[in-house]
Amino acid sequence: MTKLKELSSFLMGVPLVWGLAIGCSSVPIAADTNASQPPTKASADMNRPIRVPVPLIEHRLPPEQILDKGAVAEAHCTQALAQLAALDSDQRTFDNTVLAFEQSVMDYVDAINRLAILKDLHPEEAVRLAAAQVEERSGKYLVQLMARRDLYQALKSYSENRAAQEGLDTEQKRLLDLTLRDFRRNGLELDEPTQKRLVELQTRLVELTTLFQLNLNANESRIVVSDAELAGLPEAFVQRLKKAREGGWIVTCQYPDYFPFMENATSEDARRRLFIAFQSREADKNTPLLTEAISLRDQQAKLLGYETHADFVTEERMAKSSAAVKRFLSDLQTQLRPRRDADYARMTELKRAETNDPKATLQPWDIAYYLNQIKKRDWAIDSEAIREFFPIETVLTGLFGVYETLFGIEIVRVEGADTWADVPLYEIRDANGGGHVGNFYLDLYPRPGKYGHAAAAGVTVARQVGSDYRAPIAIMIGNFNPPSTERPSLLSHDEVETLFHEFGHIMHQTLTSARYGSLSGTSVARDFVEAPSQMLENWAFEKDVLDRMSGHFRDPTKKLPSETIEKLKAARSFDAGYRYTRQVFLATFDQVIHSSGPEVDVEAVDRQLYADILGLTPVAEAHFPATFGHLMGGYDAGYYGYLWSEVFADDMFTVFETNGVLNPAIGLRYRQSILEPGKMRDADELLREFLGREPNNTAFLSKIGIEK
């Protein structure tokens, strides 16, 4: 997953945090003393502007200063926009109207994101709550901003003056067109009473989405298991469990506990209890929040003239319509069904043999466990044994080396950086001349109150301001096994793949050279944004790459054996039937709840689709919709994008397969064609440029075992 609540444009009702693209003045934000390194020399490519480092995250601010800084940023933005709106029509130029709007709001975005990001990462609850207030206030402020008729009329007035637009280049025209489109999609062509109602709906949505994620971040769900129920679990896992006050051992719903337990615990009842706890996190609070959000989104869509929220969302995506998305998901579901059933048959057979019960049936809490057993049995792949070859520092060194080779960069740790929770900070430099490219943080271990999934978040957006280019800052978030006194943090191969994926987002966010912040980095169409990172997951299966990234934690000279790598590669799609059917289920659930009117019983829809698509018996005690954070984090009616973009990811990888996965010439071409442009051009055009042909789905279907 990329960014948490990332805004790829002026998305209605979505809070600003992790924003990557609201449009925006060079009006200075309040002085920030936590500046990063001084400006560096230009890179060897003299066609590129100098990248100027920007202030880093001020994590030591007390809560009251976080609130004050948010208010100051808002005041500066308001003042700059007032000057823009006050100009006479005959005074309007691209610079004092379109660009001034872009830069004013972008300055605000940058200032707010450095504050709001603390909501999901800071160790102190008081700071997280203050940052959440800033996030919520900023979301409401942007709702009001995008409802301002004076700003829309200013931009529209300029757009209607053809003489004033003489000499504009393609990128300037694109910024104007997309900014006007975003205003229209926020109701500026509606009458005032209707628009007022739209603003009320959007404002409430800001509150709902902030609360939903705060609830999940604060969740402390757990189960307590007996000694007997620890059977099958790796000894290292058992050793780090904490003793429960009432007796037994605590297993939490955080990733480092949940996934190893579900994959290895032989106790079906313990797996069932943990599954229900995980699938029911914050159900009492979050289910009504999601239900209300669906109703508000439906009302918004209808006010804007769309039949459903799904129609509204997909109009500006690669898919273009919800009908196209439904066809895509339905066709894929049909094609996957034989493979899904074959996966179930193998798991059921294994369960019956293990339990000596010829009538045993497969349950949802069995899936991870029996897939892991099949991997061990049929492919001789022991995930826990493989983990010993991937100490996180070794993995990161190899990971950085791969990206350095491909993209012509250097990655250097910033020693002595003042960060929260001792999170490391890195600088990216251009290998040709050493010019500053950007910074990123690696926040890799779980802690109370922290965002609970894997993600990459843009904090400061790359963009040109005058003759300089403001360098970006990003954060990669993980929740991997923390190190202990006996052993370092050891990653599973799946987690290595996750690192490749999320760091691919970091590259997309930091290597962009797009001129405008609202169109830079990962601000591309949401159903394309995952493609660059999904493509880079393929590197986690290549021997040359894994030789760089592996080394047994007791003897680093021992690399992951070649035969193990071949087995991992051969078994890569062994569970494709179930795995991709589950993705179809998630995407279909999202589409259905956002195209079924204002009154939707999300749990009933979940149960129905779970049975129809996954073919499993729904678990009455589970409340999955309350945990589906994507739907309250910018992926509403857009979750299908994971599958949609994977088609393009696999197609792009064929170029590397043919020419070498560590080929720097192809890497540079990929950087220039896919990563650098951002949204300055449509994704379809970027794909055709990199591929040298029209994209197709052949590689994707072949990977998941479907012949065309």
Q: Which residues are catalytic?
A: 502
Q: Which two tokens stand for residue 24?
A: 């925006």
Coil vs helix vs strand at 620? coil
Q: Which of 254, 261, 221, 266 is nearest to 238 (CA)?
A: 261
Q: How many CB atoms sit inside 10 A of residue 106's CB?
A: 27
Coil vs helix vs strand at 441? strand
Greatest Cα pair distance, the chain, in angstroms, is: 85
Q: What's the 3-state SS for 74-109?
A: HHHHHHHHHHHHHCCHHHCCHHHHHHHHHHHHHHHH
Sheet holding 425-430, edge to edge: 409-413, 425-430, 436-443, 473-477, 455-460
Residues 648, 686 contacting (CB under 8 angstroms): no
DSSP 247-277: SSEEEESSHHHHHHHHHH---HHHHHHHHHH
Count how many residues are written for the chain: 708
Q: Give me Rg for the CA atoms of the chain.
A: 25
* Chain centre distance of CA 34: 27
Residues 691, 652 contacting (CB under 8 angstroms): yes
Sheet holding 468-470, edge to edge: 51-52, 468-470, 463-465
Residues 680, 519 contacting (CB under 8 angstroms): yes
Tell me the Ramachandran region of residue 553: left when phi exceeds 0, alpha when psi lies from -120 to 50, beta otherwise. alpha
Q: Which of 11, 185, 202 is nearest to 109 (CA)?
A: 11
Q: Which two tokens stand for residue 139?
A: 């979301």
* Chain centre distance of CA 646: 14
Q: Which amino acid is residue 583, in one-letter code?
A: Q
- Residues of 626-635 as b/e, b for ≥16 C-beta within 10 angstroms? bbbbbbbbbb
Q: Which of 510, 429, 521 is nearest to 471 (CA)?
A: 510
